[in-house]
Structure 1
Amino acid sequence: MNAEDRILTVPNLLSFLRLLGVPVFLWLVLGPRADGWAIVLLMLAGFSDWLDGKLARAWNQTSRLGRLIDPLADRLYILATLAGLVLRDAIPWWLAAVVVLRDVSLLWVPPVLRRHGYGPALPVHFLGKAGTACLMYAFPLLFLASHQGWYAEMCGIFGWAFAIWGTGLYWWAGVLYVVQVRELTKG
């Protein structure tokens, strides 16, 4: 079996666990409103996102499946968190729309890449990772900012800073992906 075709790897297991955490996160936020546990789960998801990539490279366990489920888990956490934040009135709907619109605007990329003989996705760009990381920092802070307490104002300031910066980087990475696809498919 080709190393790229491996399924049972530690990084893939971490990504699968992250995927399983998405509905749990939504239930914590929208059901019992256990924000403390939801934030812990979100932080664990962010840490496991970093760790699975680190381990995949260090242990030579990168795989096609990993390149698909890792960004899928990221997108699902982003969508779930945006939904929770909007439904709890912690952020305005337009912020969620701007972030989601970036992913929707790139839905055409995988079919075009496949048609030209490339994998289903481009390698993740550093700016995309940085944008996702900023958003993953922003979300718990914005949850905390929606509470009453001495920390709420400071969390709001930093949460919005990370949200704005992360959204900008997220979109910038999207533009770079479009440029990459154009370069790969021209001719």
Structure 2
Amino acid sequence: MAEQAAPGTVSNRIWTIPNVISFIRLLGVPLFLYLLLGPHHDVAAVIVLAVGGTTDWVDGYVARRMNSVSRLGELLDPFADRLYILATLLGFTVREIVPWWLTTALLLREAVLGVALLVLRRHGYGPPPVHYVGKTGTFVLLAAFPVLLLAKAVPSADTVLLPCGWALAWWALGLYWAAAALYLTQTRALLRADRDVTTREAVAG
């Protein structure tokens, strides 16, 4: 019988149901890009993208309900989110579904957080815990993408779909940068605490 993690603990298991769901999500990325950029099967690409976005919360929910939270799963879930967002942004920009400024604004946010993470690691800290604002922003953005693509695939419905898609995209962009501000505040607090400890040790020495 497989070893069951104690409630509230994080296991080292690899083959858990939530991790399998995350692996399947990752396999959807190249399929989505092929459908979008190859034969331009936009409706099929919408379905793949919608399934990938919907299962964003499924793996985490299943992990908590089945008490199968794992270290690999904690890495796979945000990695799958970022890979979907990056692949969709690049594909949408190539197809001119979204403008360059939106892609730049979202990628700039990732670059800023990447630099903050490098600074934290240099001081011996891991990444800050995922904030619900950032998680909500990811969920809203993954909801905006299929709507925008469906507007492209079904021009007769774009008068309804485009405003809905862009409303979600703007909402997600605001949440994304709000979450970035929170992460940067956490980073600054950690670095300040680290500096204070170093100063006290220097004075005591």
Compute the TM-score of the two structures, normalised by the length of structure 1: 0.92
Secondary structure in 1 matching 2:155:
coil
Structure 2 vs 1, CA of residues 62 and 99 (structure 1 numbering), >3 Å: closer, same or farther? same
Q: CA deviation at 1:109?
A: 3.0
User: Is 1:14–2:21 an aligned residue pair?
Assistant: yes
Q: CA deviation at 1:128?
A: 0.6
- Residue 36 of structure 2 corresponds to which residue in structure 1? 29
- Residue 179 of structure 1 corresponds to which residue in structure 2? 185
- In structure 1, how many angstroms separate the alpha carbons of the residues matched to 2:105 and 2:186? 22
- Residue 83 of structure 1 corresponds to which residue in structure 2? 90
- Residue 201 of structure 2 corresponds to which residue in structure 1? none
Aligned partner (choices 102, 108, 112) of residue 101 of structure 1: 108
- Sequence identity, in percent? 50
- Residue 5 of structure 1 corresponds to which residue in structure 2? 12
Q: CA deviation at 1:112?
A: 3.0
AA partner of residue 75 (structure 1): R
Cα deviation digits, residues 80-119 of structure 1 (max 9, x gap):
1111111111111111111111001111233333334433
- Residue 70 of structure 2 corresponds to which residue in structure 1? 63
Trace 1:92-131 onto structure 2 (pairs within 5 A): 92-119=99-126, 121-131=127-137
- In structure 1, how many angstroms separate the alpha carbons of the residues matched to 2:152 and 2:129? 36
Runs of 4+ in 1 over 4 A off after TM superposition: none
Give the conservation status (yes or no) of the 8 Å contact 2:92–2:98. Answer: yes
- Residue 166 of structure 1 corresponds to which residue in structure 2? 172
Compute the TM-score of the two structures, normalised by the length of structure 2: 0.84
In structure 1, the gaps of 5 or more residues are: none
Root mean square deviation of aligned Cα = 1.7
AA partner of residue 54 (structure 1): Y
Provide the aligned length of Structure 1 versus Structure 2.
186
Give the conservation status (yes or no) of the 8 Å contact 2:42–2:153. Answer: no
- In structure 1, how many angstroms separate the alpha carbons of the residues matched to 2:109 and 2:175? 11
In structure 2, the gaps of 5 or more residues are: 194-205
Structure with greater Cα Rg: 2
- Residue 151 of structure 2 corresponds to which residue in structure 1? 145
Cα deviation digits, residues 107-166 of structure 1 (max 9, x gap):
1233333334433x2221111111111111111111122245331111100000000010
Q: CA deviation at 1:47?
A: 1.8
- In structure 1, how many angstroms separate the alpha carbons of the residues matched to 2:32 and 2:153? 18
